[in-house]
Amino acid sequence: MARTKDPGVQNILEKYKSKLEQSTQNKSQKEEVKAFSREYYIFREEMVSKGFSKYENWCRWSERIISIAPGKKDRNNLLKSIETAHLDITPESAMSFAFIAGMSFVLLGLLIGLIAFLLTGTIYFFFPLFFTLIGIFGIIPLSRLPNFLAGRWRLKASNQMVLCILYVVMYMRHTSNLEHAVRFAAQHIGAPLSLDLRKIFWDIETGRFRTIRESLDYYLQSWKDYNDEFVESFHLIESSLYEPTESRRVELLDKALDVMLNGTYERMLHYAHELKSPITILHMLGVVLPILGLVVFPLLSAFAGGVVKWYHLALVYNIVLPAIVFFIGSNMLAKRPTGYGEGSINTESAQFAKYKRYALKFGDKEYFVDPWWVGGPILGFFLIIGFLPLLIHWINPDADVQLGTGLFLDYKCFEQVCTGPYGLGALVLSLFVPLGLSLGLGIYYYLKNKELIKIRRESQKLEKEFSGTLFQLGNRVGDGMPVELAFEKVYENVQGTATGNFFAIVSANIRRMGMGLYDALFDGRRGAVWFFPSNIIEGSMKILVEGARKGPLIVSRSLISISNYVDRIHEINERLKDLLADIVSSMKGQVSFLTPMIAGIVVGIGSMITNIIGLLGTQLTNQEALGGELGPSISPAVISVFNIKDVIPPFYFQLVVGLYVFQITIILTLMANGIESGADKVTGEYKIGKNLFISSIFYFFISLIVIVVFNILAAGILATTVAIG
């Protein structure tokens, strides 16, 4: 005992004790975990900074100019949002940016007013007032921008939570190790939830927390107010680590997944019921009433003596209203509860990047080009046609041709100042501007995502059939058959299906290419998983490979349990789609039919009103000039009301309405896709392409028919009235 108290001996004992502890650890596994945790910082820079780096730089720059501290309550909310969205800013910098941005708009408005006064000698109130109000009222929304970004982050992450719990449960059924299970989930669910899970390991690596459980519990606190099921499921998973019996441990894991699935269904049920009223209000306030309100603007511009101009209309309808509709829609999506959202294909990976190009065939050769080289020329061609009235007048102000009883362009010149065009021909040509925008962008998005959507649909077919096939595979392996041979035997029973195609690739890789099981599934060029991008399929095959190292019995149990889990996931997903079917179909009808139809009718009515005002103004002016019987009885004030130079030209009126239809189509499509599928970029862009094509064609023909018919009726009625008079 005396010798053990000697300091030198103690140092030697401690030295070799630490060496012994280090030697007993799995060094390769430890280094792998460290490397994985360090990937958080790289992963964050690659994913987050692409969208937020400019905003972060502006915030830091603003704080250096003036530092504004938010209130205590606002500061706490901003801190939570900044951490949730992984932003590299402070609450003070966010407030400073909001203040400087708001004041910049105020100064811009005053500067525009000053320049206009110096150039014309007239005081203009609209633009200074417009930008001043935007600047003042925009400070509060801009100061809460981190909250908005955090809400969007939660929406994207919430669609992956069911899969996250599924992967953790599947992994822990055969390996009761929480750290490895969370790491496995982080590697397979993709961004943004994978970034949150990597942050858990990063906090351990940097010394913020000592264990995976401490770091995980801290992360779960951020979801306590937004998703109780996710938090409770992870707590049940943690509890399974302390169960003495295997049956009880597996029971808790199954319970964790049940809590997640049932909670998802109940929350989505309430969300679907609560969403009907806001969707109706949004449609009325954002689509029907604004478009119907446009009917009065031709009359308003005449009665107001030319105070209301077309650019006033454009600022309200093409900037303010779309921003309001987008803001309301984003708030509705932010309340969307967690669900089983469709995983989006990573279009940035080399594997799928080639599918974003359009294949042009010339003879036996095939060339891949960027879809923009197809949509861009179409956009440019239609824009040139649409703006021909302005180009012709700019080149030759006197150029015009007769069109029926009127002129094709019909510019009105008063005191060497020309306004217009008011002609029916110019109005018809203006319809090509929104048509070109919609077709150009629509074709671009459609061609860009056409092949990716085909791959997605094949993967969805495979997911539907996968549970039954996994069950067969599990039984084969459980009977003692090697996994490699079991793939070939199951393939013989499922030929001609999506699952059969998947198993055929695996079997061919093993038999013909001499690959091992892992390479047959995950090889970068020929692996079967890469031909069917699906989080569930990839995760299931990873579980199979992991289990194969521990024996056929573990593989069999894992595959059968995965089969049951996939069945339950699919059942919940179908029930959620059924809940949202009415809402989504209603929004699709608004986008493709109601909005373009109402807008087309409004454009026709507006052009008819303008035509009537112009013809009445001409008739009344002629009566007064000729001194006819009606002349002395007509007040000059009445004649001034029908002064065509004060009326918004139908050409610009249609451009404002057409552009609004274009913007609303995109916004409502993104909302419908967000409600149905969550944050799915590929599906969202593909639907934008289809909806823009449908709505633009419908709007073009409805507007054309109504414009021609209403203007013919107006000319006939006025001609009859004048003849009778």
DSSP 397: T
Whole-number pLDDT of residue 7: 56
Q: How far apart are CA 320 and CA 285, in angstroms?
A: 13
Q: Which element (helix H / strand E) includes 527?
A: none
What value, to the nearest 5°, has the Cα angle with vertex 379 and ends 376 and 596?
135
- Out of 26-35, 479-488, 500-509, 613-622, which region has the weakest mean confidence (pLDDT)? 26-35
Distance of CA 351 to the CA centre of its chain: 23
- Token pair, residue 460, equals 């969805």
Whole-number pLDDT of residue 236: 92
Whole-number pLDDT of residue 643: 60
Identify the CA nearest to 707 among candidates 618, 610, 595.
610
- Token pair, residue 85, equals 């969205």
Q: Is the pLDDT of residue 34 over 70?
A: no
**Residue 305 bridge partners (DSSP):** none
Q: How far apart are CA 605 and CA 714, in angstroms?
A: 10
pLDDT bucket at 384, cuts 50 / 70 / 90: very high
Mean pLDDT of 168-197: 82
Whole-number pLDDT of residue 8: 57
Neighbours of 537 (CB within 10 A): 21
Task: Judge contact between 117 and 123, C-beta under 8 A.
Answer: yes
Q: Which element (helix H / strand E) includes 407?
A: strand 406-407
The mean pLDDT value of the chain amounts to 78
Of 143-152, 246-255, 520-529, 698-707, give the range with the top mean pLDDT: 698-707
Q: Can you point out the beta strands (E) in 487-642?
A: none
Mean pLDDT of 699-723: 77
Q: How far apart are CA 653 and CA 433, in angstroms?
A: 12
Domain borders along the chain are 27-155, 159-242, 457-569
Q: Which element (helix H / strand E) includes 463?
A: helix 432-478
Q: How far apart are CA 7 and CA 492, in angstroms?
A: 72
Whole-number pLDDT of residue 547: 73
Whole-number pLDDT of residue 22: 45
pLDDT bucket at 269, cuts 50 / 70 / 90: confident
Please indicate whether residue 369 or residue 143 has the higher confidence score (pLDDT): 143
Mean pLDDT of 518-539: 79
Tell me the DSSP string of 472-502: HHHHHHHTT--HHHHHHHHHHHSTTSHHHHH
Tokens 């100064």 sit at which residue? 107
Tokens 């704080």 sit at which residue? 63
Whole-number pLDDT of residue 21: 45
Whole-number pLDDT of residue 655: 92
Whole-number pLDDT of residue 701: 93
The set of long-range contacts for 274-280, using a CB threshold of 8 Å and a minimum separation of 24, is 275/332, 275/583, 275/675, 276/582, 276/583, 278/328, 278/332, 279/332, 279/583, 279/586, 279/587
Residue 583's alpha-carbon distances to 67, 272, 278, 287, 324, in angstroms, are: 45, 8, 11, 16, 21
Please indicate whether residue 60 or residue 338 has the higher confidence score (pLDDT): 60
Whole-number pLDDT of residue 23: 45
Please indicate whether residue 357 or residue 475 has the higher confidence score (pLDDT): 475
- Token pair, residue 490, equals 């199951």
Q: How far apart are CA 545 and CA 540, in angstroms?
A: 9
Task: Judge contact between 318 and 656, C-beta under 8 A.
Answer: yes
pLDDT bucket at 614, cuts 50 / 70 / 90: low
pLDDT bucket at 431, cuts 50 / 70 / 90: very high
- Out of 131-140, 227-236, 419-428, 715-724, which region has the weakest mean confidence (pLDDT)? 715-724
Q: Is the pLDDT of residue 628 over 60?
A: no
pLDDT bucket at 66, cuts 50 / 70 / 90: confident
Instruction: Determine how β-strand 406-407 pairs with β-strand 402-403.
Output: antiparallel
Whole-number pLDDT of residue 47: 53
Q: How far apart are CA 604 and CA 578, in angstroms?
A: 39
Output the CA torsion sign for 460, 461, 464, 465: negative
**Residue 360 bridge partners (DSSP):** 367
- Token pair, residue 104, equals 């910049």
pLDDT bucket at 55, cuts 50 / 70 / 90: confident
Q: How far apart are CA 725 and CA 13, in angstroms?
A: 120
Whole-number pLDDT of residue 29: 46
3-state DSSP call for residue 402? strand
Mean pLDDT of 389-406: 79
Task: Judge contact between 429 and 389, C-beta under 8 A.
Answer: yes
Of 19-23, 90-94, 543-547, give the range with the top mean pLDDT: 90-94
Give residue-wise pLDDT tens across range 4-30: 455 555 555 555 554 444 444 444 444
pLDDT-above-90 percentage for the chain: 7
Q: How far apart are CA 262 and CA 491, in angstroms?
A: 34
Give residue-wise pLDDT tens across range 453-474: 887 777 777 777 777 777 888 8
Whole-number pLDDT of residue 223: 86
Give residue-wise pLDDT tens across range 553-575: 777 777 777 777 777 777 777 77
- First CA to last CA across the chain, in angstroms? 129
Q: Which residues of 235-260 are buried (b: 16+ CB within 10 A; e: fewer)?
A: ebbbebeeeeeeeebbebbbbbbebb
Query: Is the link from the previous residue into 192 a cis peptide, with omega within 30 of 0?
Result: yes
Please indicate whether residue 659 or residue 112 has the higher confidence score (pLDDT): 659
- Out of 18-27, 33-42, 507-516, which region has the weakest mean confidence (pLDDT)? 18-27
Q: Is the pLDDT of residue 288 over 50?
A: yes
Q: How far apart are CA 559 and CA 476, in angstroms?
A: 10
3-state DSSP call for residue 365? strand
Would you call 697 exposed, middle or buried from its count of C-beta atoms within 10 A (0-12, 13-18, 19+)?
Answer: middle
Mean pLDDT of 296-320: 75
